[in-house]
Structures are given as structure tokens and as C-alpha cells.
Amino acid sequence: MRCDLHVHSVHSGPNTLPPLRAFCRECYSPPWELYGRLRVRGMDLVTVTDHDSIAAAGDLGGRFDFFLSEEVTCRLPSGAEAHLAVYDITARQHTGLQERRDDFSRLAAYLREERLFAAVNHIGSGLTGRRHAQDFDLLLAATPALETRNGQVPAANNRLAHALARRSGKIGLGGSDAHGLAGAGRAWTVVPGACNREEFLTGLRAGKARAGGRHGAFWPLTLGILEIALGLATECPVAAALLPTLVFAPLAAAAHQVSERLWARHWRKRLLQASSGTACALAGADPFAA
């Protein structure tokens, strides 16, 4: 069975970029339209990982092929931010996660106490800002899985995440990280042999998952930016005055791609030096050679 384990709907809240935070959403996809798009693209199961929200369950909660998840925005002791995808949760557990997300030690303890299955999203990317070397150790200790195929970040960043997963013995997951319908279902996680939702989730925990689908690239990212902008203009007609600025969307996408590759190169060197080659020895080869 196949499921996109990282995808957003209109309930993901305001855009995180300071200039856009006051008037633009992270995503404008209605949950029911997102559900239909994912099913058409071959997803056997559907979950929605909105930022710190489970509101999509109001539209999808009664479906047999849906399970409740969220992307928790958490604060590390260093002050850095990270995103944890937590799967197959209840409304009570959502409240517990939100109460603890600014205290990482309490959040990690809650994940263990509730036996929740969680993954670090885009650990090989700079999407959440600055990172410290000790942050990687804390994140790896707190979760059994890492997102190793993110459909919004370049292949170099996903290779870094894959290398970290291999070095630490973590389960690798995939998801589109789509903030629009165009990208939904373009990256996914497969659990071979699973026949229903329960078997899929059991397979995730057992480490039977395989990540698949596309890496992030220039044109899909440009299309994603345009889709968010058009969603804003539809919701707020006054914002249509900003549409001429979309000529800069390709430039923004290109700048993001370059920034991400530089981020991956920086942490590739630091993590390899910190491990003194241990990562390569455990993996059996240089994981960054591909």
C-alpha cells in the first residue's frame, strides 16, 4: 500500500515567511480536494500533516482509508526549529503534543509514553532555518524514522537525510510536502504486502517502509509558488494587485534550490568530519557519492 506521508491542506496556518505571514496561508488546498487528488495519483491511504493542526479530520475523519496525523513544529534546546510528523494520533494526543512542542525533552518523553510513531521531516534541508550539530543527535534519539524523500527539496538534501537514516538505523519515509494540489502524491511511502490501514501502520513501525517518488526540482517548485499565489488572490481579491510580482517566482525557486544545495554541502562535510568516517563505514560506502 502507498501513502503520501507529508502533505498539507488549507488548515496549515499562515505562511512562515515574515513578509507573508500577515496575509498569506501556507496552503490553499481544501481537504476534500486534496483527498481526491491523492487517490487519483495512486495513494491507497490518505493522511494530512498540517502544521500543528488536525482540522482536516473534520472533512475526512469518517473515511476508511484516512488516518489522523500532524506536523508538529517544535523548538530544540539550541533555539532551532524542527518539524516532526506524528502519525495515527487521536485528538487527545494532538492536544498533548501541542502542549509540549516548545519543550523538546517533554515532547520526546510524550512520544515515548504514548508510543507514537514519529519522523523528522526534511532533516537534510534548511527549510526550518539554522541548525546546530547537537540538534541532529537530539532529533535522531527522539524518533524512529526520518523523511528521506521529500518532494520539495533537491536530491542532494534527500541523500543527506538518507545517509543519516542509514548511519543511525532509522526507518526512511517519503512524502510530497505539497502545499498545493499540483504536487500532492508526487512522493510517497510504500509498505509492501499491507492490505489495509492497520497493516500499513504496523508495517511502518516494523521498518518495512520504502520511500519513493520524485525529489524537489526547479519547475515543480515554481508551480507550487504560483499555486499558493493564485490561492491567495482567490481568497482575497485585493491581493490580486500583487500578481504581477509572480514574474519573480522562477527567481525565488532558483534561489531556494541553490540555498538548499549549499546547506546540504555544508552539513555533509560537518557530519562526515564529526563521525570520522563512521557513517561511511556503517553504510558500506560513501552515501554522498550518488
> Does pLDDT of 54 surpass 90?
yes
| Within a domain: 82 | yes
What pLDDT, on the 0 to 100 scale, is given for residue 272? Answer: 67
| Within a domain: 99 | yes
| Within a domain: 290 | no
Please choose, from the candidates 71, 69, 107, 72, the residue with its C-alpha nearest in 3D space to the C-alpha of residue 88: 69
What is the Cα–Cα distance from 165 to 64, expressed in whole angstroms? 31
| Within a domain: 227 | yes
In the chain, the amino acid numbered 23 is: F
| Within a domain: 240 | yes
Q: Where are the alpha helices (DSSP H) in the chain?
A: 31-40, 57-60, 91-100, 104-113, 133-142, 155-168, 197-205, 218-235, 249-275, 278-283
What pLDDT, on the 0 to 100 scale, is given for residue 275? Answer: 53
- Mean pLDDT, rounded, for 45-61: 97
Binned at pLDDT 50, 70 and 90, residue 283 comes out as very low
What is the Cα–Cα distance from 122 to 175, expressed in whole angstroms? 10
What is the Cα–Cα distance from 71 to 41, expressed in whole angstroms? 22
| Within a domain: 175 | yes
pTM over 0.85: yes
**pLDDT tens digits, residue range 174-230?**
999 999 999 999 999 999 999 999 999 999 999 999 999 999 999 999 999 999 999
CB 42 within 8 A of CB 59: no
> Does pLDDT of 278 surpass 70?
no
Please choose, from the candidates 151, 70, 149, 148, the residue with its C-alpha nearest in 3D space to the C-alpha of residue 116: 70
- Mean pLDDT, rounded, for 4-14: 97
Return the CATH number at 40. 3.20.20.140
| Within a domain: 40 | yes
Phi, psi of 280 (to 5 degrees): -70, -40
Total domain count, the chain: 1
The DSSP element (H or E) to which 83 belongs, if any, is strand 81-87
Q: Which domain holds residue 95?
A: 2-283
| Within a domain: 288 | no
